[in-house]
Amino acid sequence: GQNIDQPTEMTATEGAIVQINCTYQTSGFNGLFWYQQHAGEAPTFLSYNVLDGLEEKGRFSSFLSRSKGYSYLLLKELQMKDSASYLCAVVDSNYQLIWGAGTKLIIKP
Amino acid sequence: SQTIHQWPATLVQPVGSPLSLECTVEGTSNPNLYWYRQAAGRGLQLLFYSVGIGQISSEVPQNLSASRPQDRQFILSSKKLLLSDSGFYLCAWSVSDRDTGELFFGEGSRLTVL
């Protein structure tokens, strides 16, 4: 079966750095997305990785290792507004999106 | 610019009642359209997707149905709601000529079936 694993919840301190991991086992791979979702709102796009390596976009970076079936989202200089759920999603061989359950990130002052 | 809007935002319905959620997209043509359901603590579940008017693919058997009467309109319906239909429903669109395109989500509709 297809599976996306990410931690259920993480806590970090304002101004710090946090890494949210995502591991996947899917039938094929055509890219990996990270989305941010604030409580009660729709997900919004953060990043897309299809090749191995690190993609940096401001305070957020996303890393992919296809051989390890692994990705992480790195958030730097955390702000209170970063408190949200972070969703990992993989595009499989049929170009279908397989979603993880999301990681709820709690930022403390 | 492209926008997506779905409504209603919140609804409370009794078991056995009908449902209609509507989604419209503006500023783009021939989008791929999707209906997802998000249950607490679980990943997004794809319910239906459409690549064109009248073309609907169902991903899971259920008492829900979808229709696409116009290019940029997507409707989720049920004739008789079940308790298990409660959840957060999200409409989304993507550019049709990209297999791995980014999804753009509507605001979401929270359904509570009592």
Residue A5, pLDDT score: 96
Confidence of residue A107 (pLDDT cuts 50, 70, 90): very high
Virtual torsion, Cα B71, A90, B107, A13, nearest 10 deg: -160
Residue B22, pLDDT > 70, answer yes
Residue B4, pLDDT score: 95
Residue B62, pLDDT score: 79
Q: Tokens in use for B112?
A: 């509570």
**How many CB pairs lie under 8 A apart between chains A and B?**
48
Rounded Cα gap, residues B6 and B32, in angstroms = 15
Confidence of residue B100 (pLDDT cuts 50, 70, 90): low
| Contact: A50, B46; criterion CB under 8 Å | no
Of A43, A98, A102, the CB nearest to B105: A43
Which residues, 6+ apart, have CB-to-CB distance to A52 below 8 Å? A64, A65, A66, A67
Of B1, B95, B111, the closest CA to residue B47 belongs to: B111
Question: Nearest CA of chain B to the CA of A106: how many Å?
Answer: 15
Give tens-digit pLDDT for A7-41.
999 999 999 999 999 999 999 999 999 999 999 89
Residue B60, pLDDT score: 79
Residue B98, pLDDT score: 66
Rounded Cα gap, residues A82 and A7, in angstroms = 16
Average pLDDT of the residues of chain B: 92
Residue A107 sits at the chain B interface (C-beta within 8 Å)? no
Of B41, B46, B107, the CB nearest to A101: B41
Of A8, A30, A100, the CB nearest to B99: A30
A45-54's contacts with Cβ under 8 Å and 24+ in sequence apart are A45/B102, A45/B103, A45/B104, A46/A73, A46/A86, A47/A73, A48/B100, A48/B102, A50/B100
| Contact: A42, B108; criterion CB under 8 Å | yes
Give tens-digit pLDDT for A43-78.
999 999 999 999 999 999 999 999 999 999 999 999
**Which amino acid is residue B88, in one-letter code?**
F
Confidence of residue A95 (pLDDT cuts 50, 70, 90): confident
Of B82, B37, B29, B83, the closest CA to residue B58 belongs to: B37
- Taking phi first (over 0 means left), then psi (-120 to 50 degrees means alpha), and beta for anything else, what does residue B47 get? alpha
Residue B110, pLDDT score: 95
Interface test with B, best of A2, A23, A30, A37 (most B CBs within 10 A): A37
Rounded Cα gap, residues A35 and A49, in angstroms = 12
Task: Average the pLDDT over B68-88 and give the result.
Answer: 95
Nearest CA in chain A to B10: A40
Q: Where are the beta strands (DSSP E) in B8-113?
A: 10-13, 19-26, 32-38, 44-52, 55-58, 64-70, 73-78, 87-94, 104-105, 109-113
Chain B contacts in chain A segment 77-106 (CB below 8 A): 87, 89, 91, 95-102
Residue B99, pLDDT > 90, answer no
Rounded Cα gap, residues A74 and A76, in angstroms = 7
Is B48:B54 a contact under the CB 8 Å cutoff? Answer: no
| Contact: A42, B44; criterion CB under 8 Å | no
Give tens-digit pLDDT for B28-68.
999 999 999 998 777 899 999 999 999 999 887 678 999 99
